[in-house]
Amino acid sequence: MMYTVSILCCFSGFFMLYNTSHKAKLSVKGAIEKWLQQHPAIAKSVGILLVIASFLILAAKDGTGVGIFTATLLLMTAGCLTIAIAPLYYLRLKHIAALSAGIFLLEFLFS
């Protein structure tokens, strides 16, 4: 269960930070994206806290060295996927919720 929470924290945090960028072509279709773009200070603060929480969860779960290494890989993955998929306007809350539920179920069943 901790890995799912960590993955959600990392992806959500990076998505929040991505939506506060001035350089990226941002979506204005979703209500969440609009809110994040209209309130960049709050979005940046919460995004950074979520990424740090992801690092701390993984460091507590796997140990300091392996946890930080895994969190760094997870952050790079979140960055690549967000930058590749977000301009296609394919990231929606229902997709993220369905994927998270599937990951949680798999983690719960096999751990």
Q: Which of 59, 37, 31 is CA-nearest to residue 10?
A: 59
pTM above the 0.85 mark?
Answer: yes
d(CA 30, CA 16) in angstroms, rounded, equals 13
Amino acid at 73: L
Pair of tokens at residue 64: 């300091």
d(CA 4, CA 102) in angstroms, rounded, equals 10
Could you read off the pLDDT of 7-27 as tens digits, one per residue?
999 999 998 999 898 887 777
Residue 37 neighbours by CB under 8 Å, 6+ apart: 19, 20, 26, 28, 43
Q: Supply the pLDDT for residue 30.
A: 78
Give pairs for 37-45: CB < 8 Å, separation 24+. 43/16, 43/17, 43/19, 44/16, 44/17, 44/20
Could you read off the pLDDT of 48-89 as tens digits, one per residue?
999 999 999 999 999 999 999 999 999 999 999 888 887 787
d(CA 3, CA 64) in angstroms, rounded, equals 15
Scan for tokens 């979703």, then name that residue.
30
